[in-house]
Amino acid sequence: MTEEQFWQLVSATDLHADSDTLAAELTDKLTPLTDEELAAFDKNFNLRMRDSYTWDLWGAAFVISGCNSEYAFAEFRCWLISRGQEAYYDSLKNPDSIASLYIGQDKEGYADPYLDEYDLIAGQIFEGRHEGELPYVLSGQNQPQGKRFKDKTKVLKASYPKLFELYWASHL
């Protein structure tokens, strides 16, 4: 599977759609794939999860929505991958660029940049066909790459000025 094919499959067609709709859309796209194509897709997805396992991105997620757990950060990275190739790579270079992306809201009106279990869809399809699981591809390290972000307001404002302006006040 080429990188272009991967991004065509994983990128949301409606960036305003809710999590359930996005999961259903990806399921529909992946279901016709062969087992080998599913494995290649899953490998690509896990590599993108690993590459985005950085403190800089976690700091951005923290500013946007108070992201403070490994699980939530994985859901955030799934959401980021669903935004498409350009948004994904731009955010790796400059996490503050996420400020230009549409981020929906949860029921309480807070920013909701999360996709629950988006990274598991290929494996679920495979398991539905067989008793076994897709080959495991490590999607992270013991610690995120880079230097841990400081959660001091002054530092966050300087590190993520656009995101801070858009989202930080909602945490207070």
pLDDT tens sequence across 1-14: 899 999 999 999 99
Confidence of residue 170 (pLDDT cuts 50, 70, 90): low
Tell me, what DSSP letter sits at residue 136? P
The residue-averaged pLDDT of 67-88 equals: 96
> Using CA atoms, how far apart are residues 85 and 95, in angstroms rounded to an integer?
14
**Cα 70–Cα 74–Cα 80 angle in degrees, nearest 5:** 140
Longest dimension (CA), the chain: 52
Q: What is the pLDDT of residues 83-130, one digit of tens each?
A: 999 999 999 999 999 999 999 998 888 899 999 989 999 999 999 898
pLDDT digits (tens, 9 = 90+) for 21-33: 999 999 999 999 9
Q: Name the residue ranges covered by the structural domains of the chain.
A: 3-171
Is the Cβ–Cβ distance between 77 and 105 less than 8 Å?
A: no
- Residue predicted with more confidence, 134 or 162: 162
Question: SS3 of 127, please?
Answer: helix
Yes or no: say if 40 and 132 are a contact pair by the CB < 8 Å rule.
no
Statement: residue 139 has pLDDT above 60: no
